[in-house]
Amino acid sequence: MAGCDPVGARDPARWIAIDASTAFTCALTPAGYAACWGAAYWDFPDFQPDPPDAVMPNSATPILVPDGGPFVSLVVSGADVCALDVIGAARCWGANVLGTVGDGTFTARRTPVDLAGGRQWRQLSSGLTHMCGVTTDQKAYCWGNNFSGTLGAGAFGGASTIPVEVAGQHTFDGISAGTVSTCALTPDGHAFCWGQNGSGELGTGSTASSPFPVAVAGDLMFTSITVGGSFACGLASDAKAYCWGWNNSGRLGKGDTTVSTVPVPVLGELAWAQLSAGGAHACGIAVGGDTYCWGLNNLGQLGDSTFDSAFQPKRVAASVALVRVESGSRSTCAIDNDGVAYCWGKGNPVPTRVEPPVARPQ
């Protein structure tokens, strides 16, 4: 597994945040400086970074990002990264092939640059080729790829190199960008989604796509929402988990592989503290600290010591209680209460500790 040692092999590094994407992972040191590791490429041959190491060099160990901090949070898309500092200012870097850096250009950025607009942000979220965020005044904005209407600005197609406001005059508390869709929560817990909907990932009860927010069906109130590869999951106010959308490999966690155009409960009697949807799997931390994953497991991304996909939650083979989990496309990473990070997947089905960061080669 890139960037990991077997548990117990050495003294671990400490981290305050972590996020996994398709080919690489980034995290923040206790001082708030970003480090990334993995492969400096992604899955779209027609949209390769130029230069190839625009995000970072290929590396099995975390490499510190030049001028990369201090930050308090960060999110990782297919080939770009955005991070927030302590006052809510956003800076981004990466391949910028589809404007995902959000600086008004398509120029690759090796080091962080200011996100256009000068807004203060309360939260950011990364999809595969687009980014979204909620400002301190509870307005939602998105930038990057809009081929599927994922920016929510009222039209399909094109891309935006700067943040554009999501249509509808809604106020939002949180937002989650996925592969081809985006969802957000209002302050009272109502869920709205937009973008592609061929598998019901908008949760409206239909398969009609929408370039602007549409309400998720039902009367559920959610405290958080997370969007992955053509599916989404929400944590309801009673700590139950619900998912909807495409269900290949059982990523909805409902015991089968049939799609659902409306939220359906994840199997089991667990109460959940946090959920994270990845490319074709999802993970969650149960109240009490045990971590579970379900869905595709061809690369060990469920972390249960096997490569068998699961149609309902399976316990991750972690020896410590985890407090935050982030699901990528091919891997999953998590942090424990001491700030020790663990990752699994990409061919390694066992949680392993992340190594300390090193300086980027000149």
Taking the chain (362 residues) in consecutive chunks of 10 residues, what is each chunk's mean pLDDT? 35 85 91 88 60 70 93 95 98 94 94 97 97 98 97 97 97 97 98 98 98 97 98 98 98 98 97 98 95 97 97 94 94 95 94 84 56
* 361 located within any domain: no
Please tell me whether residue 248 adopts helix, strand or coil conformation: helix
Specify the number of domains making up the chain: 1
Domain with 70, as residue range(s), is 4-354
Residue that the structure tokens 């370039």 belong to: 211
* Contact in structure between 207 and 198 (CB atoms under 8 Å): yes
C-alpha span between 356 and 154 (Å, rounded): 44
pLDDT value of position 53: 66
Pair of tokens at residue 266: 């994840």
Q: Is 268 exposed, middle or buried (0-12, 13-18, 19+ CB in 10 A)?
A: middle
Domain presence at residue 173: yes
Q: What is the per-residue pLDDT for 320? A: 86
Position 138 in a domain: yes
For residue 242, what are the β-bridge partners? 234, 265
Whole-angstrom Cα distance, residue 243 to residue 122? 25
Give the C-alpha separation, 291 to 180, whole Å.
26
Please report, in angstroms and rounded to a whole number, the separation of the first and last CA atoms in the chain.
25
294-326: burial string, b at 16+ Cβ within 10 Å, e else? bbbbebbbbbbeeeebbbbbbebebebebbbbb
Contact 280, 267 (CB under 8 A): no
Q: Is residue 362 part of a domain?
A: no
For residue 324, what are its two tokens?
């935050």
Contact by Cβ (8 Å): 174, 235? no
Please indicate, yes or no, if residue 184 is contained in any of the structural domains.
yes
* CATH number of the structural domain spanning residue 35: 2.130.10.30
Is position 149 within any domain? yes
What CA–CA distance (Å, rounded) separates 306 from 317? 10
Question: Within 10 Å of residue 287's Cβ, how many Cβ atoms?
Answer: 11
Is residue 359 included in any domain, yes or no?
no
* Rounded Cα gap, residues 12 and 4, in angstroms: 10
Ramachandran assignment for 345, one of left (phi > 0), alpha (psi -120 to 50 degrees), beta (any other)? left
Is residue 93 one of the residues assigned to a domain?
yes
